[in-house]
Chains A and B, each alone.
Chain A
Amino acid sequence: MTDIAAGPRRLSSTETVRAGLGRRKRHQIMLQGLGLAAISFAFLMLATLVGSLVMTGHKAFTQTHITLDVYVDPAEIPAAGLPRGGFRDVMTAALAERIPGVESRAELRALGAILSNGAQFMLRDRIVADPSLIGQTITMRVPVSDPYDQLKKGLIDRETPEAFRRVKDQEIAWFDTLMAQGAITEPFNWALFRNADSRFPELAGLKGALIGSAWALLVCFLISFPLGIGAAIYLEEFAPKNRVSDLIEVNINNLAAVPSVVFGLLALAVFLGWFGMQRSAPFVGGLTLALMTMPTIIIATRAALKAVPPSIREAALGVGASRHQVVFGHVLPLAMPGILTGTIIGLAQALGETAPLLLIGMNAFITSAPSTPFDSATALPTQIFIWADSPERGFVSRTSAAILVLLTFLVVMNALAIFLRNRFERKW
């Protein structure tokens, strides 16, 4: 101000700035580089995870099947005896037709083991549904048992000495003969989605877990969504700002960070212990998950309500709307995209939650899909847990496949959240 004409001083200040420019630029480049490195690393890790899952898991999306012409022998399966009958023997006989020279009982039994244990029940179901098939020759395509599925997929090394191999030389020869005959196919493994759990990997599917998860999520949503929004609206719009509401706020934020296993223990003690609810039921699972999801929804809803510009509230109050008209007529609709996004992310988290479900017994071995939320069931993450724990080789790839299915659901839910946010976002 005092000496505008003092040229050198102004020049020196420009030079001071210039001297620091290089350093500032270097810092900026370094920061960008670090960010890029962090993102690359995260991306690499993600690619490794998904890559390894796909590598192991893709094999479970196909299942080796064998096609057989089965003569439904009335001597073995008399129409009067249904649903009992010698279905296994009939299937083994059909297999023996294709492999000549298998005579002894021991050999027949070994040959029969090519077929999945479920094959006989598939034949039974078909005959029971249509008894007129007795006495005819019908074409059946049935899964092969797990070791032969592994063999077909190249997971059993033929070079391993016979003593250490699950499939003996003789059995490999039989299987190769069947392959040469064109009886072996490897179609898409619909059983993975159509069947519930089974001890036999070739029969095990996710249907029970998918339906169990769906019930649990539905119960979780129906409880946590209205309660969470109600609590958030009260806290944000109506509650007086004092110590009590501060305390409640701190506690809700803490609840969102409580490890899920603690909620599981709480559910075990309260829902199963005190209220005597049924164990392994998706209804109880949903209640437990709702405990976990509610704080997330409350926090997301409060943030969404807070983000609605105060000018909208003032506008509504200014024309004489009551507080509840302001909230339900203006603030809540505007906050809805944010609320829905938070809710979906909370539900996605609940979908992947394992620990609380383990504690209320949703990791039981259940071979049928639940038809109500009160039937015993598993959920997707607990099914993964069960399969990961199973010794049969076939469950290794099925575990990865189940994880891929779970991840797909999570990606779809998150995509839905992004879609809703973009679709309903309003601009002021």
Chain B
Amino acid sequence: MYDNPLTKRTAVTHEVKISARGVNVFYGENRAIKDVDVDIEDKTVTAFIGPSGCGKSTFLRCLNRMNDTIDICSVKGLITLDGEDIYAPSIDPVQLRAKVGMVFQKPNPFPKSIYDNVGYGPKIHGMAQSRADLDEIVERALRRAALWEEVKDRLSSPGTGLSGGQQQRLCIARAVATEPEVLLMDEPCSALDPIATAQVEELIDELREQYSVVIVTHSMQQAARVSQKTAFFHLGHLVEFGETGQIFTNPHDPRTESYITGRIG
């Protein structure tokens, strides 16, 4: 993937997985996200970039209703997943989050065994009928997160004992174990060293085959490396959204150009 010049990279257009229309997010009086419209495609990596505090993480957390846990936070507008309004009263956030997995900035494995970390989601959703079922789910998730070979002999040792990069891949395994359709990643590599980052990026590229991946990143190189689509946020606005190659080589908006060339941010 690294040999592929940016300019030549064009995304095959897939079905729209998540669609946002006129989304506004308020923290009390403060409007953190301003009228964002975006379509996130299936089997595509979409990167959200932008300077600190521009609202990219906030918007990401709207997509699995993680903002619900913050009392003063309110979301206005329409966000649909497969055409269904995820903020509709009939939608249970628990059900939504089983479909839209999330990986966080800092690796946050549960202080439990590797097996229990991965098996927790399937267990609470009743996805495994027996222990053998669960074993299979755990193995599949760990393989998908490219961690199986490293941990298969010590599944019962604590997840917190792994290295930073392994912990983050464990968190990815935990997220994919519930068979989500969308995977949200909030700066998944910011706490990792370059080698671990490279492993996770490679993994993201593989995950694209099955999931719609949305990744928030501070690193423009990372966005350029892993994503097919890029959204540039600035001060709560979605300034520009398009194919990654176009955003990085030929941005339409002067703000995007300033950010990419390092003048703002």
A: residues with CB less than 8 A from B are 240-241, 309, 311-322, 325, 329-330, 334, 426-428
Bound: A427/B124 CA distance, A: 25
Chain B residues with Cβ under 8 A from A313's Cβ? 69
Shortest CB–CB separation between residue A24 and chain B, in angstroms? 36
Contacts A317-B97, A320-B94, A320-B98 known; A427 to B108 CB distance under 8 Å?
no
* CB <8 Å contact, A241 and B171: no
A317, B104: Cβ atoms closer than 8 Å: no
B80-109: which residues lie under 8 A (CB-CB) from chain A? 94-98, 101-104, 106, 108-109
Cβ of A428 and Cβ of B97 under 8 Å apart?
A: no
Contact residue among A241, A318, A320 (Cβ-Cβ distance under 8 Å from B95): A320
User: From B65, which residue of chain A is reached at the shortest CB distance?
Assistant: A317
* Candidate in A320, A321, A322 with the most chain B CB atoms within 10 angstroms: A320
Beta-carbon contact of B110 and A316 below 8 Å:
yes
The reply to whether the CB of B193 lies closer than 8 angstroms to some CB of chain A is no
CA distance A325 to B94 in the complex (A): 11
| Chain B residues positioned under 8 Å from A317 (CB to CB) | 66, 69, 97
Contacts of A318 in B (CB 8 A): 64, 66, 97, 101-104, 175
Q: Are A314 and B66 in contact (CB under 8 A)?
A: yes
Please give, as numbers and ranges, the residues of chain B lying within 8 Å of A320 by CB-CB distance.
94-98, 121, 124-125, 178
Residue B22 at the chain A interface, CB threshold 8 Å: no
A-chain residues with CB within 8 Å of residue B95 when the two chains form the complex = 320
Any A CB within 8 A of the CB of B71 = yes
CA distance A14 to B28 in the complex (A): 48
Q: Which of B109, B124, B175 contacts A325 (CB under 8 A)?
A: B124
Contacts of B108 in A (CB 8 A): 309, 311-312, 314-315
Query: Which residues of B are at the interface with A, using a C-beta cutoff of 8 A?
Result: 64, 66, 69, 71, 94-98, 101-104, 106, 108-111, 120-121, 124-125, 160, 171, 174-175, 177-178
25 residue pairs of the A-B complex, CB under 8 angstroms, read: A240-B71, A241-B71, A311-B104, A312-B108, A312-B110, A312-B111, A313-B69, A314-B108, A315-B110, A315-B174, A316-B110, A316-B120, A317-B69, A319-B101, A319-B120, A319-B174, A320-B95, A320-B97, A320-B124, A321-B121, A322-B94, A329-B120, A330-B110, A334-B111, A428-B111
Q: Which residues from chain A contact B125 at a C-beta distance below 8 Å?
A: 320
**CB-CB nearest in chain A for B171:** A315
CA gap between A315 and B118 in the complex, in Å: 11
Report which residue of B64, B66, B111, B171 has the largest number of chain A beta carbons within 10 angstroms of its beta carbon: B111
Q: Shortest distance in angstroms between B102's beta carbon and chain A's nearest beta carbon?
A: 4
Bound-state Cα–Cα, A415 to B99, Å:
48
Cα distance A427–B174 in the bound complex, in angstroms: 20
Residues of A near B124 (CB, < 8 A) are: 319-321, 325, 329
A251 to B66, CA, bound (A): 32
Sample of 18 further A-B pairs with CB below 8 A, known A315-B110, A318-B66, A319-B175: A240-B71, A311-B104, A311-B106, A312-B110, A314-B102, A318-B97, A318-B102, A319-B97, A319-B121, A319-B177, A319-B178, A320-B95, A320-B121, A320-B124, A320-B125, A330-B110, A426-B111, A428-B160
Complex-state Cα separation, A318 to B101, whole angstroms? 6
Q: Chain B residues near A426 (CB, 8 Å)?
A: 111
Give Cα A223–Cα B102 distance, bound, in whole angstroms: 40
Docked CA distance A367–B208 (Å) = 80
Distance (Å) between the CB of B111 and the closest chain A CB? 5
Residues on A with C-beta less than 8 A from B106 are 311
Chain B CB within 10 A, most for which of A241, A311, A317:
A317
Which A residues are CB-close (under 8 A) to B94?
A: 320-322
Complex Cα gap A427–B103 (Å): 21
Chain B residue with minimal CB distance to A427? B160
Q: How far is the CA of A240 from the CA of B68 in the complex (A)?
A: 13
Complex Cα spacing A314 to B102, Å: 9
Bound Cα distance from A314 to B174, whole angstroms: 13
Complex CA–CA separation, A322 to B98 (angstroms): 11
> How near does chain B come to A294, taking the closest CB pair, in angstroms?
26
Per the bound structure, the CA–CA distance linking A334 and B178 in Å amounts to 24
List A contacts of B109 (CB < 8 A): 315
A424 to chain B, nearest CB (A): 11
| Residues in A neighbouring B96, C-beta threshold 8 A | 320
Docked complex Cα distance between A322 and B97 (Å): 10
A314 touches B97 (CB 8 A): no
Query: CA of A426 to CA of B108 in the docked complex: distance in angstroms?
Result: 14
Q: Which of B96, B110, B160 has the most CB of A within 10 A?
A: B110
Docked complex Cα distance between A241 and B73 (Å)? 13
A272 → chain B closest CB, angstroms = 43
Residues of A within 8 A of B64 (CB): 318
Chain B residues with CB under 8 Å of A322's CB are 94
Q: Once bound together, how far apart are the Cα atoms of A377 and B124, in whole Å?
A: 49
The minimal Cβ–Cβ distance linking A103 to chain B, given in whole angstroms, is 83
A55 to chain B, nearest CB (A): 49
Closest-by-CB residue of A relative to B92 is: A322
For residue A269, give the distance in angstroms from its CB to the closest CB of chain B: 39
Residues of A within 8 A of B175 (CB): 318-319
Q: Which of B69, B71, B98, B104 contacts A315 (CB 8 A)?
A: B104
B190 to chain A, nearest CB (A): 13
Q: How far is the CB of B98 from chain A (nearest CB, A)?
A: 4
- CB proximity of B176 to chain A, nearest CB, Å: 10
> Please, which residue of chain A has its CB at the minimum distance from the CB of B96?
A320
User: How many Å lie between the Cα of A316 and that of B111 in the bound state?
Assistant: 12
A251 CB to nearest B CB, Å: 21
A-chain residues with CB within 8 Å of residue B111 when the two chains form the complex: 312, 334, 426, 428
Q: A317 vs B69: C-alpha distance in the bound complex, in angstroms?
A: 9
Query: How long is the Cα–Cα vector from A123 to B125 in the complex, in angstroms?
Result: 72
Cα(A126)–Cα(B66), bound, Å? 76
Q: Which residues of A contact B97 (CB under 8 A)?
A: 317-320
Instruction: Return B211 CB to nearest CB of chain A, in Å.
Output: 15
A317 to B102, CA, bound (A): 9
Closest chain-A Cβ to B134's Cβ sits at a distance in Å of 14
B120: min CB distance to chain A, Å? 6
